[in-house]
A and B are shown apart, each in its own frame.
Chain A
Amino acid sequence: MKYGMIIDLDRCIGCRTCAVVCKNHNAEPEGIWWNRVFASGAPNYATAVAVDGGMRSEFLPVSCQQCENAPCETACPTGATYTDENGVVLVDYDSCIGCRYCMVACPYNVRQFNWQKPQGIPATEGTYSYGYPFEVRQDGKLVYTPDRPEGVVEKCTFCVQYTSEGGDPACCVACPANARIFGDIDDPDSAYSQYMKGLVSPKEPYTLGDEYHTDPKVVYMRSSRKADARVGSEGEVTER
């Protein structure tokens, strides 16, 4: 069993639902986003980028790439970061000392340090805490808790609270474009394998940052959109 995720950029509509449900389900405090959606080259959502004389707004969701050869795991001095039997890279909050070596080692900039941000949000009375409300331990290691300890590094766990029970990560469950596919890489009948074979929709797969030899288990399907769109009369005020 080895979990993998496909993100089909031809289907991704850039809506950020994956980022928001990730935050909501995983009780991520203000300022922390385990999953972010970029529009490549654009400083702002819904802003186009001039590419080769045309326009593009390619959406790119990025979370932990769940590397087979994870530099964060190698860098961790305490063994807090480890790969579980399903191939998922996790952090044991109890063992993390907050040295942040892993953040330096990660080429994807997806690890985030919890500076003891305020947890929960203001409510009509007191505070309200969103997110999966129970601790998750794996062989005694604390791999998820809604009550975040101070000074540890956090990141995507492939929603260990759900996948450990046979479910899918929240981002894959909620993606309204069906652009995120999750499953067992080793099982030829899994949703992951079927999609990878192009049985659902033939697409060209690629991974991020091949130059780092990290062998990610998050695989992207290339967008078919070409920057062939015509640029309008830029530079001229439209006559009405």
Chain B
Amino acid sequence: MAQQITRRSFVQAASVASLGALGAGCLGSAALGSVPAAKALAEEAGSEGAWVRTTCSPNCTGACGTKAFVHDGQIKMIDPAADYPYTHYNPRGCLKGLSINTLVHGPDRLTKCLVRDEASGEMREASWDEALTVAAQKLNATAERYGADSIAVEWQVQGTGHIQKGSLIRLTNMMGWSAIGCYELNGDLPMFWPETFGCQSEELESYCWEDSRYTMIFGSNVMVTRLPDAHFLNYSREAGGKVVTFDPNYCPTAEKSDEWVQLAPDTDGAFALAAAKHIIDNDLYDREFMANFTDQPILIDTATGKRILADAVVGLSAVPAPDYRTSYVMLHGGTPFAVDPEHVGITADADLEAEVDLPLKDGTTAHARTGFSLLRESLEPYTLEYAEEVTGIPADTIARIARECATIKPMHIIFGGAGEQWYHGDLKGRALALLACLTGNIGQLGGGISTYVGQYKTRFNTASWFLPPKLNKKSCAFQYAITGRTPEMTAPFPKEGIRGLVIGWGNPFEQHDVADWLRQARESGEIETVITFEFQHTKTVDYSDVVFPCSSWYEKLELTTTPLHPWVQLQQRMVEPPGEAADEIWICKELACHLNPDLADQWPEFDRDQSQEVSEQVCRLLLEKGGPTIDHLTLEQLREGPGKLAHANPGEKRIPFWEQVHNGDPFPTVSRPNAYDVTAKFVRSGRIEFYRDEDIFLSLDEQLPCYKPAFVDTEWKDDPDGPQKYPFAYITRNSVFRIHSTYVNDPLMLEMQDETPKCWMNPADAERLGLASGDLVEVYNSRGQVTAALVCDPGMHTGQVIFDQGWWSEYTDGDSYNSLIYPWINPTNEVYYVSSVWSPNMAWNETACNVRLLQKGGALREVMS
């Protein structure tokens, strides 16, 4: 159908929406000649083979430059490219990415379109024309019945690809389908970031770790989940720095740290608050930083709990500022003044602790205290002894570490997914952010707080490709499909619910928290249409109506970035996609044309075998229109190797919040791809905010960071017998052998695990249940179950069952390990809605379970070998 569209019509459409560069250059003969297509590469290689550079970029945040040896049309082995100009980044890669050739050429590759046969109900092979036609018919029928927004679309980890993934985003943004924010669907969104700093997140790129002199790690198993970056922690130690890992379990990261601090699961917040109290009580805190850059000197009305507006106070008027900011009141020597929310770093002398009666213009008087006064009071219960009781960490250890982290600089906190993905994970993050601020480490090289979960970050302006001229853009918060609508919800959710799914770069019927719900909704017909873009035969393929076979990242051109390093890189086609597999850019263009011929002018006109050339043009467009962080880079440069993103601060390494702390710019930083004003309202003071005065925070007594225990507000809330029935926390940690559910079928990974899913328990817990290593057990709760071989690990804290996530259910007797999990929605997540910045989140670890024996010694060989 696209062939009917003239290039002229596309150029006309493009020129009205900054697509001119693409349209004008589209399919020029020079461009065609400049692309090293896989066939040309293979011919160049001759019989001796050749090494070709690309980027390994699944959902792991690694974005590792690799090179593959191509011989006889196949990838034979893979090495790190090791071509980063900052040599400490070399080499990057891991056991999974460096063996992906076994998947690229393996038996689970999709090589043909699949369509569900109406008569038999089975999936059968189909031509591209039939697959596209059926997909378009089904999607159009669902949209007609329930509205276009009832079709939800997920593309995982946008930052891993901007051209091919960008094509599905572009298609979604012209169809009015609901984009699912996968960052929150995956539970990766660390809510304390928007709550405290107003942005999606900021983090040190990993080469800054070597600059830290004190590193505290909470809920992050860097030595397993950040393999290509892990060595920077070793380099920090070698340079004299200290690394302290707080973890309930003796994980590989504990082994590679100077100190392991074992604490009870989900009690990190109690430690952080006791440490904060100790720092404040002993006058070890950075008073100037707290006064200059945080909201702590701002006056709070003690009667209402609200911050006092400058405009409300007799004798004051608000400092003019954009609508998304508010001018509040501070004291200087007891005299009130209106605070300028557009500038920070100018209130070093503001009264940090004060209490005052303020006459208001309405004739009343407000009794007010500063945020810091309220903070000091709120921290009173968090004595060292209390924290010892909650966390199990000796009081003198807490005091020592509090002093160390306050006095050794730069100090950096890594707060990872295992700590964050609890119902009250945001409270923990706010408490840890308090430590980073009290010690004045924000805006310093090697200092601050970072969260590395997911490849979420959009590092340049992507509008030139993601946003089509005919824009019809929507999003929704998917968790409501399971929980139902809540009284507090502010997020959009389709009127008729989720009735169709378009899935790219993900395996939700296996890997998601909602996998079981999805399977049931599919079987019941509630979800009537599922269209999948995939390169492997996953469980999601089995639940689809139409499956498009896609190129792997050794078979297409893609533009990648990551939060972990500053390098922009290409994925490059070095072997041909197998069979009928195609690049997503062509599939999306064709699907758009099949859905609505009027949308053809939103796409370049090209045939499947020209996908490479058009991808190249889109790449140029993204670079040219990408703004100041990336527009100095060219495609030609990237073909040679990694290109570095630009940053504002002087020096080699980007420093988060440098502009705020050194230039006085207001918080937050921008959260791309959103416009600045969309998220700036999260911190209306223009400062780092530890005090939140929205009604829901006040009603939950969460206006300041506090500690709340696991399960009390969730699993055990309505069931007094809950603690007896399900006494263990069910922790689905990341495995060294998988990236979520990718690589599960890598034969080398399978061999190393005896092809056996395992779960781990403390030996005392196991003994109490009459269990031992090598037993085949079932982990269960009221929602679901999974079978595994039990391993007793004396390094584990009691009270937990750990299951290494990612196993496809074909290895676990058909049960999804996610069947035990439920997407609890914390109402503080619902105060605002900006997809993937402030949104209902997923708390994987907020899951209680129990364990029972299936077969004594049933997996002894697999566990003890």
Contact = CB atoms under 8 A, between A and B. Distances in A.
Contacts of A149: none
A177 B794 contact: no
A225 B255 contact: yes
Contact of A234 (B254, B263, B794): B794
B736 A176 contact: no
Interface stretch (A66-74, A76-84, A106-114, A116-124): A116-124
Interface string B713-724: 000000000010
A44 B795 CA distance: 12
B858 interface: no
B71 A133 contact: yes
Query: Which of the listed residues A17, A31, A124, A176 has the most CB atoms from chain B within 10 Å of its own CB?
Result: A176
Nearest to B72: A133
B284 interface: no
Contacts of A57: 250, 252, 254-255, 795
Contacts of A19: 95, 752
A13 B252 contact: yes
A32 to B, nearest CB: 10
A17 B102 contact: no
Given A55-B794, A230-B261, 5 more contacts: A17-B227, A43-B773, A121-B106, A128-B102, A232-B264
B799 A240 contact: yes
Interface size range on A against B: 35 or more
B752 A46 contact: no
Nearest to B262: A232
Interface stretch (A20-28, A136-144, A150-158, A204-212): A20-28
Contact of A133 (B49, B91, B105): B49
B752 A16 contact: yes
A72 to B, nearest CB: 25
A237 interface: yes
Interface stretch (B75-83, B130-138, B605-613, B681-689): B75-83
Interface string A167-199: 000100111111100000000000000000000
B101 interface: yes
B109 interface: yes
Contacts of A49: 794-795
A148 to B, nearest CB: 15
A1 interface: no
B106 A123 contact: yes
B711 A176 contact: no
18 contacts: A10-B234, A14-B252, A15-B94, A17-B98, A20-B99, A25-B77, A44-B863, A47-B760, A47-B791, A55-B794, A59-B255, A123-B109, A124-B111, A132-B76, A173-B91, A174-B93, A176-B92, A238-B797
Contacts of A59: 252, 255
B863 A176 contact: no
Contacts of B256: 13, 225
A10 B236 CA distance: 13
A235 interface: yes
Interface in A46-71: 46-50, 55-59
Interface string B248-262: 111110111001111
Contacts of B736: 15-16, 45-46
Contacts of B71: 133
Contacts of B77: 21, 24-25, 130-132, 170
B732 to A, nearest CB: 14
Given A16-B736, A124-B109, A174-B80, A46 B252 contact: yes
Which 7 A-B pairs rank lowest in CB-CB distance, beginning with the nearest? A48-B795, A238-B799, A48-B250, A55-B250, A20-B95, A128-B105, A232-B262
A44 B791 contact: yes
Interface size range on B against A: 35 or more
Contacts of B699: none
A174 B579 CA distance: 31
B230 interface: yes
Contacts of A132: 69, 76-77
Contacts of B760: 46-47
A122 B106 contact: yes
A26 to B, nearest CB: 9
A24 B223 contact: no
Contacts of A17: 93-95, 98, 227
Contacts of B392: 232-233, 238
B230 A176 contact: yes
B74 interface: yes
A235 B764 CA distance: 5
Interface string B236-280: 001000000000111110111001111111000000000000000
Contact of B265 (A11, A23, A238): A238
B412 interface: no
Contacts of B764: 234-236
Nearest to B94: A17
Contact of A130 (B101, B248, B711, B758): B101
A15 B224 contact: yes
B707 to A, nearest CB: 12
B118 interface: no
Contact of A237 (B109, B727, B864): B727
Contacts of A20: 95, 98-99, 748-749, 752
Interface string A202-240: 000000000000000000000001000111111111101
Contacts of A231: 262, 794
Interface in B759-777: 760, 762-765, 768, 773
A114 to B, nearest CB: 15
Query: Which of the listed residues A24, A49, A173 has the most CB atoms from chain B within 10 Å of its own CB?
Result: A24
A13 B863 contact: no
B252 A236 contact: no
A160 B12 CA distance: 59
Contact of B227 (A15, A47, A173): A15
B711 to A, nearest CB: 6
B762 A21 contact: no
A3 to B, nearest CB: 19
A30 interface: yes
Contacts of B752: 16, 19-20, 45
Contacts of A44: 758, 791, 863
Given A11-B231, A17-B227, A176-B228, A131 B79 contact: no
Nearest to B252: A14
Nearest to B862: A44
A69 B736 CA distance: 37
A20 B94 CA distance: 9
B651 interface: no
A79 to B, nearest CB: 30
B710 interface: yes
B102 A16 contact: no
B751 interface: yes
Contacts of A234: 762-764, 794, 798
A111 to B, nearest CB: 19
A128 B106 contact: yes
Contacts of A58: 255
Interface in B838-865: 863-865
B487 interface: no
Interface string B696-738: 0000000000000111100000000001000100000000100
B98 A24 contact: yes
B107 interface: yes
Contacts of A225: 255-256
A135 to B, nearest CB: 13
Nearest to A25: B77
A144 B228 CA distance: 30
B799 A174 contact: no
B82 A173 contact: yes
Contacts of A230: 260-262, 394
A229 B250 contact: yes
A175 B255 contact: no
A19 B749 CA distance: 11
Query: Which of the listed residues A17, A31, A129, A173 has the most CB atoms from chain B within 10 Å of its own CB?
Result: A17
Contacts of B262: 229-232
A175 B91 contact: yes
